[in-house]
Amino acid sequence: MFRDSDAVESGRGAGKGEPSGKVRVRFAPSPTGYLHIGGVRTALFNWLFARRHQGTFILRIEDTDQERFTDEAIQAILDGMKWVGLDWDEGPFRQTGRMDLYREHAMKLFEQGKAYWCVCTPDELETRRKEALAKGLTQKYDGRCRAKGITKPTGEAALRFKAPQEGETVIDDLVKGRVVFDNAVLDDLIILRSNGYPTYNFSVVVDDALMGITHVIRGDDHLTNTPRQVPMFQALGFTVPKFGHLPMILGSDKARLSKRHGATSVLAYRDMGYLPEAVVNYLVRLGWSHGDQELFTRQELIEKFDFKHVQSSSAVFNQEKMLWVNEQYIKQGEPGHVARLLIPFLEQAGLKQEVSAVSPDWLAKLVVMVRERTKTLVEMVTWVTPYFGQDVAMDEASAKKFLTPAMAPALAKVVARFEAEPAFHKEQWETIFKQVVEEQGMKMGQLAQPVRVALTGRTASPGLFEVMELLGRERTLIRLKKGIERAKASA
RNA sequence: GUCCCCAUCGUCUAGCCUGGCCUAGGACGCCGGCCUUUCAAGCCGGCAACACGGGUUCGAAUCCCGUUGGGGACACCA
């Protein structure tokens, strides 16, 4: 009976899975590419759980496969974590720096008769696996080297763990509840490859144990790995941690989220103009809920996060909703903060000089003026460009439509009245403007549009008087005059 | 094929553990209206779901069994 009482504690139903000791969790990505959305969510749940219980969050890079990892990928993971603000307390540890530890523990198992040398070659194994598949049999290792009792292999050999074959392994998962596996389905897994490197299922166990991990929170694609790992913890004499298997994130076709579904790297969302806190907010709601609440501050998340409300079924990633969340953060966020995040985008749009010429305060006001019209920082750039520089880029079609000779007199009147005012006062200028509209026997919109085009170069903009206020008296008058020139010249 | 997980509006979800308060609530999106100097935002309203079949019970979205469907795992990858 491979059943460890330590593993048996419910996170659902009975109690709330309140940890008794000090919580230690980890996020252990493999550096095969960028940090994707699913990875961020796993990291986030770990981080939240750690912060919620004043525990420790550890970052560990699973790089035991020399073939596939790259330093760039490690850097990308670090950058991604930093961008979303998931700071770790220990690490990043790299498994490649811990090889002695794995070998040492593997040999310990061998000496205790809990592991054995296997001289089957990868090719042979592959062939047998194919045969088994063709016959419709279980594709597990037949254990033929188990009884050979090889003490000192002469050639290439891998070390296999003697998995229990009787009884059952029970895990009481924080999100899935009680899951029972028949030990008969367990394979004698290779723990040390013939090249001396440990395999994943072994290195995780050694690391999780040695790092004192109390809760292993990971994607539910690892659920079936758990009954293979639990016996290893026990064979090594370690305490078995508690497990929590998070449901997967699916693409719109209900298949596991992948590159096929468009952007899956978190940093791609940064580049698309998403705020990191919006991404976090969206991701946490994908699989966790707190009543009807949609928006949470980071502090609220830490206070409210619990496994009791983690969904056990997978969720479809929906960019529309994430966009909405982003929009909310842009609209409700602290203007100065949004402005700071906007700067790199402005610089990239070629406004480096212009940006350095304005104050953070003015930039924040600009953000306030345009923010209810934008859903991303990228969109915000286009809304914000007309307000930099003396002149404005004029949209030809708009100018042609609204800056006509017939409009020139009314525009001139507006300018004359404005010029009579030595200082700009929003309400006052608005009153003046409306007076002109009335005197000219026009409708508000008739005069507002030409003015809008003269001021911003476009037919769509924030409220006219907000625009004037932001532009300031001088620039307002300059642009208005240029608009009149343009109107007169228009044939 | 074998094992494991999952199943409420198109999507994210509340409710399920501790059956009645559910003629199933919220959010995104979509449709319509209001507001309006443009574009937005905002506000109001609408469409839309308990996968199916059995049971248990006075009563089931909630408990049990089965079916179907979806996902995952079965490597000297992680």
Q: Which nucleotide has the shortest C1'-to-CA distance from A198?
A: B76
Contact of A86 with A44, CB cutoff 8 Å: yes
User: pTM (2 decimals)?
Assistant: 0.92
Pull the structure tokens for residue A374. 């934008």
Q: b/e map of A335-363 (b: 16 or more CB within 10 Å)?
A: beebbebbbebbeebebeeebeebeeeeb
Cα A81 from Cα A331, distance rounded (Å)? 25
Q: Spell out which residues of A between 22 and 41 contact strand B, using CB within 7 Å.
A: 30
Containing A354, the helix (H) or strand (E) segment is helix A352-357
Containing A249, the helix (H) or strand (E) segment is strand A249-250
Is the C-beta of residue A285 closer than 7 Å to nucleic acid chain B?
A: yes
Cα A267 from Cα A357, distance rounded (Å)? 29
Cα A395 from Cα A274, distance rounded (Å)? 28
Cα A325 from Cα A332, distance rounded (Å)? 10
Q: Spell out which residues of A between 122 and 141 contact strand B, using CB within 7 Å.
A: 122, 125, 129, 133, 136-141
Q: Reading across the β-sheet that carries A24-27, which strands appear in turn?
A: A24-27, A56-61, A90-94
Q: Reading across the β-sheet that carries A115-118, which strands appear in turn?
A: A115-118, A158-161, A190-192
Q: In the structure, how far is the CA atom of residue A175 from the C1' atom of nucleotide B50, in angstroms?
A: 22
Phi, psi of A5 (to 5 degrees): -60, -25
Residue type, A491: A
What pLDDT tens digit does each residue of chain A (491 aa) get?
232 333 333 333 333 445 667 999 999 999 888 899 999 999 999 999 999 999 999 999 998 866 667 888 999 999 999 999 999 999 899 998 899 999 999 999 999 999 999 999 999 898 888 888 777 777 788 888 998 888 887 888 999 999 999 999 999 999 999 999 999 999 999 999 999 999 999 999 999 999 999 999 999 999 999 999 999 999 999 999 999 999 999 998 888 888 778 768 999 999 999 999 999 999 999 999 999 999 999 999 999 999 999 999 999 999 999 999 999 999 999 999 999 999 999 999 999 999 999 999 999 999 999 999 999 999 999 999 999 999 999 999 999 999 999 999 999 999 999 999 888 889 999 999 999 999 999 999 999 999 999 999 999 999 999 999 999 999 999 999 999 999 888 76
Q: Is the ipTM of this complex over 0.90?
A: yes
Q: Spell out which residues of A between 180 and 219 contact strand B, using CB within 7 Å.
A: 180-182, 185, 187, 190, 193-195, 197, 199-201
Cα A11 from Cα A8, distance rounded (Å)? 10
- Going by C-alpha positions, the residue among A200, A211, A210, A208 that lies closest to residue A243 is A208
The pLDDT of residue A143: 85
Pull the structure tokens for residue A334. 């602290």
Eight-class DSSP state of A288: B
How do A242-246 and A24-27 pair as beta strands? Answer: unpaired
Q: In the structure, how far is the CA atom of residue A50 from the C1' atom of nucleotide B60, in angstroms?
A: 38
Name the 3-class secondary structure at A90.
Answer: strand
The CA distances from residue A181 to A133, A178, A271, A308, in Å, are 22, 10, 44, 23
Q: Spell out which residues of A between 216 and 235 contact strand B, using CB within 7 Å.
A: 220-225
CA A18 centroid distance within chain? 27
Name the 3-class secondary structure at A467.
Answer: helix
CA A173 centroid distance within chain? 25
Contact of A315 with A249, CB cutoff 8 Å: yes
The pLDDT of residue A194: 93
Catalytic residues of A: 259
The CA distances from residue A466 to A242, A366, A462, A471, in Å, are 57, 10, 7, 9
The CA distances from residue A2 to A9, A35, A162, A163, A226, in Å, are 16, 35, 13, 10, 12
Cα A454 from Cα A475, distance rounded (Å)? 11
Is the C-beta of residue A446 closer than 7 Å to nucleic acid chain B?
A: no
Q: In the structure, how far is the CA atom of residue A428 from the C1' atom of nucleotide B22, in angstroms?
A: 56
Contact of A49 with A43, CB cutoff 8 Å: no
Q: In the structure, how far is the CA atom of residue A248 from the C1' atom of nucleotide B6, in angstroms?
A: 11
The pLDDT of residue A52: 96
Contacts of A162 (CB under 8 A, 6+ apart): A113, A114, A115, A116, A146, A188
Containing A277, the helix (H) or strand (E) segment is helix A276-285
Protein contacts on strand B: list nucleotides below 7 Å from a Cβ.
1-8, 10-15, 17-18, 25-29, 36-41, 70-78
